Amino acid sequence: MPSLPRIRRTRPGALPVGARAERHALELTASGLTWLHFDRPDQHAADLLAERFGWHALDVEDVLSKRQRPKIDEYPEYLFAVLHFPVYDKAIQRLNAAELDLFLGPDYLVTLPNVELLPVTRLFHRCEEDDELREDLFAKGSWRLLYEVLDDLFDYCFPILDKIGHKLDTVEDQMFEGRAEDVVRDLSNVKQEIISYRKIIKPERSTLRLLERRVERFLPHELDLYFDDIVDAAERIWDLLDNYKEVVEALESTNESVISHRQNDVLRLLTLISVTMLPLTLITGVFGMNVLYPGEGTSGAFWIILGALVLTLASMLGFFRYKRWL
């Protein structure tokens, strides 16, 4: 059976050697175990890998598909899994789902992300550069290598949660500073991130429980608690997302109350001004009629009318103050 050639990393500035399918191929072998890592595999690369490891054609189709839910497919010779993890998409400035397709066999692990997942890339380079780490990790079997990959990926999820929590704290501080439009926009952005994160993690939870049961044939029974840790990490993430969902809903309600209170203050002030001006307009309107009235044409009448206006205004303001409307 033909095998996929191993790819050695070139020096900066050097041209890659080989076909386009080999351009992003990385492979490590130690203690009888092979880890092969591809970023964004194309049709040619997927076909070569399927021919080398004997994968089913439907699994290759799932690898190339852009729309796959998390799932586990079990075969006599290997296990195929599709998992999703949150990544920040700078193009749309939103959290997006990165898909990781992986194949687990008794003597190999193949990881095929559709976008670069930094935790996986960093772990691979650590194993590549540290011979002792590679020998120690690979000697424990494909299950342990898979656990290390997933453990690093879920550890990478928590800083994203911390950023969401920090944003919520910032929004809460801004809420009473009079920047209602900024708060509404920030709340909307954070809420969108929480919704996107929940859409990624929710189907993942049941898939990880299934993975925990299916991977048992690749690991010693006494060490199955390792994958319990992965399931617990997913549950902790879900619990935090639930808490954040409640917090953002409470902040939205509080912000609406603050905005409504400020609007009421504005309306109350405008109403007081209108009510205050009404009797003054009435008085000036009466004396502004084209009829004779006592004192017309004298300077004393002007001061009397002006005094009546001031007295009326002072009386109304005093009444509003007494009623605690002002």
- Give the model confidence (pLDDT) of 189-222 as tens digits: 888 899 989 999 998 888 888 887 776 666 655 5
Question: Strand locations in the chain, DSSP E?
Answer: 25-30, 33-38, 71-74, 79-89, 94-105, 108-113
What is the arrangement of strands in the sheet containing 71-74, beginning at the earlier edge strand? 25-30, 33-38, 108-113, 94-105, 79-89, 71-74
Domain with CATH 3.30.460.20 in the chain: 20-259
CATH for the stretch 20-259: 3.30.460.20
pLDDT recorded at residue 102: 92
* Cα atoms in the 13 Å half-sphere on the side-chain side of 192: 12
Q: Which of 249-253, 306-310, 320-324 is predicted with the least confidence, judged by mean pLDDT? A: 320-324
Q: Which of 87-101, 144-158, 280-294 is predicted with the least confidence, judged by mean pLDDT? A: 280-294
- Give the model confidence (pLDDT) of 228-275 as tens digits: 888 899 999 999 999 999 998 888 888 887 778 777 878 888 888 888
- Give the model confidence (pLDDT) of 138-194 as tens digits: 988 888 899 899 999 999 999 989 999 998 888 888 877 766 667 888 888 888 899
Alpha-carbon distance 208 to 81, whole Å? 10
Q: Which of 63-67, 79-83, 156-160, 286-290 is predicted with the least confidence, judged by mean pLDDT? A: 286-290
- Give the model confidence (pLDDT) of 98-136 as tens digits: 999 999 988 899 999 988 899 999 999 999 998 888 998
Whole-angstrom CA distances from 251 to 163, 176, 248 are 17, 11, 5
Alpha-carbon distance 40 to 112, whole Å? 7
Amino acid at 156: Y
What does the DSSP 8-state code read for residue 324?
Answer: T
pLDDT recorded at residue 221: 55
Cβ proximity of 110 and 36 under 8 Å: yes
Read off φ and ψ for residue 180, nearest 5 degrees: -65, -40
Report field, pTM of the whole predicted structure over 0.85: no
Full 3-state SS string of 180-219: HHHHHHHHHHHHHHHHHHHHHHHHHHHHHHHHHHHHHHHC
